[in-house]
Structure 1
Amino acid sequence: MKTWRNVLLLLAVLVSVNIVAKPKIRIIATGGTIAGVSASSTSSAYTAGQVGVQTLIDAVPQMLYLADISGEQLVNIGSQDMNDQVWLKLSKRINELLNKEGYDGVVITHGTDTMEETAYFLNLTVKSNKPVILVGSMRSSTAISADGPGNLYAGVAAAASPNTKGRGVLCCMNNRLIYAKDVIKVHTTDVATFEAANAGPVGYVYNGEAHYFTKPEALHTTQSEFDVTNLEKLPQVGIVYGYANCSPLPFQAFVDAKFDGVVLAGVGDGNFYHEVFDVAVKARQKGINVVRSSRCPTGPTCLNGEVDDEKYEFVAALDQNPQKARVLLMLALTKTRDWKQIQEYFKKY
């Protein structure tokens, strides 16, 4: 017992004098509430994307005990303005950092509005088994009890942990770790806004250490067949929201604009209002891929359930919500337009 204590003490000393190298972690800042500023520390009104990456790092000096930290500012926007070009730039940069520049992990500061979509896109396009963690905040940097610094510290702790390797992309918010495939935003303002409604969180960060319960089942990162290395743009895919007495005009607008695909945020098990259904059938006849998802926050959109997908050549989103189904359909369309093959992608990813 005494021998092990001596070993641990020696390791602690070596780390403190940098003889044992700490993990090399790069923080990529994209803006969001974590970089937001408000006129009042008690106001819910703020402007996102005002604080730079070095200011975020300087606010959490405790991170330096966990890793060798450096940062870069990719963009500085509210995540409501996240777009395909930033996704492509971000994915390519992460691949450079992890595969060419020797970094051990990447932490991305991001707005919460579209964090789940960015996380899923990266989960399918990053080509490394090293940790990639997205963090954000629900309170601006100038708010009372701002949650950004704590989330950033926990995200770095997760990225620096050898336990995180090989798990794909994760979100770390409110000390919870959630896989990119499962994470969804469930509350407009609460700091506990992120959940994995169908699967639950997969781990947590406590005392600067990441702990996990499960490993991911779906394919991701190095197992993914999607590659954006040479892509300058992504296929155009829109989402149509379903409701009672739903107008077919939004779906028809995507068809008229010659979009490559349309995702239906359908009612119940991905069902269509009859006028929308007719437009969807015509869209397939024109070669536009149609994915059925659901506006329900939990549960799958079943293949060949109430809708005969085989007959109409629709794709069932299975356990993906509309916004993530859009991400997967865009990437699928970079490989094929065969609806059967696209359905296989939804089964694997």
Structure 2
Amino acid sequence: MTTKLTVLATGGTIAGIAGSAIAHDYRAGEIGIEEYLERVGGLGLEAELSGTQIANIDSADIGPHVWHPLHSAAMAGLGDEDCDGVIVTHGTDTLEETAFLLDLTLPATKPVVIVGAMRPADAVGYDGLRNFANAVRVASDRQAAGRGVLVVMGDRVFAARDVYKVRTRGTEAFRGFPRESVGLVTPASLDWFGAPWRSDTSAGFALPDELPQVEIVYAYAGLDGPSIARQIGKSTSGVILAGVGEGNMPESVRQELVKLARRGVAVVRASRANEGLVDREPEDDANGFVAARALNPQKARILLQMLVAGGETDPAAIQRAFDGR
């Protein structure tokens, strides 16, 4: 029986054109989904593909205006009895954020796979076709269900919870933390490194119509409290500190963030380091801070937006939600 997959296209490098096989510069989001599916039609993929163009832009421009229609289309695909899985084509710059948002807000009843490319479609060594063929292999596998949203890049399968971009060039541009890849894939084979992990396949959150304003503050040597005050507006509902080391900060920054926490602004300590846990410290209770655990700043921001949108303001409850991720 042929697997039927819904492909939701958002643009990015995988649909990009350079106009030269060796040029460095290129235009993201130039190939439409119908043309793209025609291109992959000659690969002999064992799946029936139907496509919808959600957007055709550089992923640096992706945000809620794309997330909402993308989420709606993914929900429609997951609810369609004739659809066995969903593939999302996406630029790599913000891929991890879209993947995590969908992971939080979609049920895990069928495979959902996000795929991109590091080279445009007319470049030497274009990786998009292989990545897409690998995504079809993963989305066609029944064992992909129950794992939440998955990301396929460079012959590796990553969980949305873990994946992050580590390089600006080259096809091995993604890694995972705390888990590395959760599977290895080629167009002809797929090996998982464990059983599906979602005991509850229902969506963790409903995607709100509007996402609260949550800012990310990047810590650096010499950052001070007044700099924080200038960055945070009156409408800010939450702050993610991309702290040094294990979510650390200068003392004057801590004092400013404590003021915000006492005003009811949710404050989460994350780390600007690529890998490492940010655990709670004894001072967090007095400061009113939350520790991001393994979530990087950009993913911590999305989780906090979901929590604040749902009316959660208690630091202890927010901490439990981060601990559960």
Contact residue 146 and residue 199 of structure 2 kept, 8 A: no
Q: Who is 2:132 aligned against?
A: 152
Asked if residue 311 in structure 1 is aligned to residue 297 in structure 2, the reply is: no
Matches of 1:292 and 1:326, distance apart in 2: 11
Q: Who is 1:338 aligned against?
A: 314
1:100-115 superposed matches below 5 A: 100=80, 102-115=82-95
Q: Who is 2:57 aligned against?
A: 77
Give the aligned residue type for 1:175: D
Structure 1 residue corresponding to 2:240, chosen from 263, 281, 289: 263
How far apart are residue 62 of structure 1 and its match? 4.7
Matches of 2:53 and 2:302, distance apart in 1: 24
| Partner deviation per Cα, 1:43-78 (whole Å, 9 max, x = no partner) | 111111111111221111256542111101001111
Contact residue 63 and residue 69 of structure 1 kept, 8 A: no
Asked if residue 130 in structure 1 is aligned to residue 110 in structure 2, the reply is: yes
Name whichever of 67-76 and 78-87 sits farther off: 78-87
Change (3 A) 1:216 1:314: farther
Asked if residue 225 in structure 1 is aligned to residue 204 in structure 2, the reply is: yes
Matches of 1:249 and 1:145, distance apart in 2: 48
| Partner deviation per Cα, 1:182-238 (whole Å, 9 max, x = no partner) | 001011111100111432111011343322012465777x3443112xx32111111
Q: Who is 2:155 aligned against?
A: 175
Change (3 A) 1:292 1:197: same
Contact residue 26 and residue 70 of structure 1 kept, 8 A: yes
Asked if residue 321 in structure 1 is aligned to residue 321 in structure 2, the reply is: no
| Partner deviation per Cα, 1:290-318 (whole Å, 9 max, x = no partner) | 0000011111011116xx11111111000
Give the aligned residue type for 1:323: Q
Matches of 1:108 and 1:319, distance apart in 2: 25
Change (3 A) 1:243 1:341: same
Percent identity reads: 38
Contact residue 116 and residue 131 of structure 2 kept, 8 A: yes
Matches of 1:42 and 1:178, distance apart in 2: 29
Give the aligned residue type for 1:156: V
Matches of 1:215 and 1:254, distance apart in 2: 44
Asked if residue 196 in structure 1 is aligned to residue 176 in structure 2, the reply is: yes
Matches of 1:208 and 1:62, distance apart in 2: 15
Structure 1 gaps, min length 5 = 1-20
Q: Who is 1:252 aligned against?
A: 229
Structure 1 residue corresponding to 2:277, chosen from 281, 285, 300: 300
How far apart are residue 157 of structure 1 and its match? 1.0
| Partner deviation per Cα, 1:245-274 (whole Å, 9 max, x = no partner) | 114455324433421101000000101122
| Partner deviation per Cα, 1:8-52 (whole Å, 9 max, x = no partner) | xxxxxxxxxxxxx31110110000011111132111111111111
Partner SS, residue 241 of structure 2: strand
Matches of 1:288 and 1:64, distance apart in 2: 53
Q: Who is 1:17 aligned against?
A: none
Matches of 1:253 and 1:203, distance apart in 2: 44
User: TM-score of the superposition, structure 2-length normalised?
Assistant: 0.95
1:27-66 superposed matches below 5 A: 27-62=7-42, 65-66=45-46
Matches of 2:77 and 2:214, distance apart in 1: 29
Matches of 1:219 and 1:300, distance apart in 2: 24
Change (3 A) 1:150 1:65: closer
How far apart are residue 332 of structure 1 and its match? 1.1
Give the aligned residue type for 2:221: A
Change (3 A) 1:64 1:106: farther
Change (3 A) 1:249 1:42: farther
User: TM-score of the superposition, structure 1-length normalised?
Assistant: 0.88
Name whichever of 242-251 and 25-34 sits farther off: 242-251
Change (3 A) 1:247 1:59: farther
How far apart are residue 122 of structure 1 and its match? 0.6
How many residues are paired up? 324
Matches of 2:93 and 2:70, distance apart in 1: 17
Contact residue 146 and residue 196 of structure 2 kept, 8 A: no
Give the aligned residue type for 1:44: H
1:4-43 superposed matches below 5 A: 21-43=1-23
How far apart are residue 101 of structure 1 and its match? 5.6
Matches of 1:242 and 1:173, distance apart in 2: 30
